[in-house]
Amino acid sequence: MIKRIFALSILILSPLFWRGVGGEANAQTGWNAVTGFGTNPGNLNMYDYVPTGITGKAPLVVALHGCLENATIFSAQSGWNTLADNHKFYVVYPKQNSANNPDTCFNWFLPGDIERNQGEAYSIKQMVDYMKAHYTVDTTRIFVTGLSAGACMTNVMLACYPDVFSAGAVMAGAPYKAAENSTQALEIVYGTDTNTPAAWGDSVKSAYPAYTGAYPKVAVFQGSADYVVNPANETQVMYQWTNVHGASQTAASTITSFNGNPLVTKNIYNDPSGNEIMETYTITGMEHGIAVDTGTCYQKGGQTGAYSWEITGFFSSFWAAYFFNILNNNTINISGLTTVTVSQTGVTYSVTSSASTSYTWSVPTGASITSGQGTNQITVSFGSTSGNVSVTETNSVSCKVGPLNLFVTVGSTTGINQLTSNNQLTAYPNPTDGIIHIQSTGALQTVKVFNSLGEVVQQSVINTSEFSIDLSSYPAGIYILFLQEDGKAPSIRKVILR
């Protein structure tokens, strides 16, 4: 009981007295204490981490610590700095002051700190503005994540600044405006603060009523044995963001034993166009904190601590970065057809072979691997269902890379002719319904569809890395897709509709 009462207090304690800000000495390369980043109405401190070797525009991740933590502790335990070194992106670490909250919790439940352009929320946004002004930040790839009170503040930032953040990762947090005082915050701990999806969604929409653009995608990570933030909040956060996106509260797909770990269940939620807009990861038996998988493998990282737990095979920051689509694995790709016909046989897929490495493949429902499972090349016989051909590589010391995915459309219509001037974008046609799914490494800026006469028949400006184009009502013929990403050469695709 003592442990539980203490846990309640560290999530919600409001400002009571001054303990001093306290310096955070460290010797990490690229770590900087930043002052003068704005008017700072929330009285927060700012730290950033800038890896060496960044060329051109790079993503930015804002990482928010939990109660009784600070920026240095969270940076070490979450492993974001190492991920930044390996994959070349910037990280900002806001730090709470004990003058604001005696247990250094971000004040996610105080009205003056959770509205657009006010208090702590505005201070964090000013940190983003500082990074944009001083570094080559890709403004279409700015993300936010956090633990506990930092996770609750993550939802605050996503709701108040959907024009700034492309996606967020909530690690043991509560919905936006789940509480507006300390008494209501206690109800979050007990899991009694529930609401309808529509009501939760309205809370987000009211944060920036004039906004008409796309809302951020959201991933949620939650331990089932969390005694600080009741696991029921995972469902409430899901309700909130699926409603905002106009999506169903029923998962489009569920993966048990995610990445080979029987403790982790992943649910995927799609919008009405079939685009993935939300993921939830439930870690069975994990208490309050983040999941780390210590080690130096590609998919390992982080450090154990008071609120970070060793979960073999599941490093939550890695999978958040994977969700953000900011991992540099461009040298590891699956080669093979992206469009096949119903019941086509003898289709091969491969990855570059590495010594002492095994390969675990999976194929869409109705397809079968006729040879090559365990090697770097497989032969597939397809059924009638489109889906991912996936592979996970495991080397001699049990380091994994994957799953790597290649979406394959099964149908009778010729799809995309791969005519492209860069390797940053992939188009997946579905000839059975006339829908073309687009994926890019960054948020696309301009999309145009031309007919064979050179006339523009569809045009839009978007701010998301995944979306779909509906050509189902178009007459048969040849069409050209023109896709322009910010700061990159355009990509062109030819589409044949029959």
- State the pairing for strand pair 368-371/276-283: unpaired
| Set 148, 317, 386, 440: catalytic member | 148
Long-range Cβ contact pairs of 33-40 (< 8 A, separation 24 or more): 34/127, 34/130, 37/126, 37/127, 37/129, 37/130, 38/123, 38/126, 38/127, 38/129, 38/130, 39/126, 40/123, 40/126
- The CA distances from residue 309 to 190, 280, 398, in Å, are 22, 18, 20
3-state helix, strand, coil in the chain (%, to 5): 20, 30, 45
Residues counted in the chain:
498
Residue among 195, 193, 209, 146 nearest 172 (CA):
146
* C-beta of residue 367 within 8 angstroms of C-beta of residue 385: yes
User: Is residue 396 annotated as a catalytic residue, yes or no?
Assistant: no
CA geometry: angle 293, 294, 295, nearest 5 deg? 120
Alpha helical stretches, state H, 70-118: 71-78, 80-87
Beta carbons within 10 angstroms of residue 294's beta carbon: 15
Strands 416-417 and 444-450, bridge-based pairing: unpaired
Q: How far apart are CA 257 and CA 13, in angstroms?
A: 37
As beta bridge partners, residue 315 has none
**Contact (CB, 8 A) for 291 and 232:** no
Amino acid identity at 277:
I
CA distances from 3 to 10, 140, 258, 496 (A): 11, 43, 31, 64
> What is the DSSP track for 138-198?
EEEEEEEEEETHHHHHHHHHHHH-TTT-SEEEEES---TTS-SSHHHHHHHHHT-----HH
CA-to-CA distance for 437 and 435, rounded, in angstroms? 6
Distance CA 171, CA 150 (A): 8
Q: What residues act catalytically?
A: 148
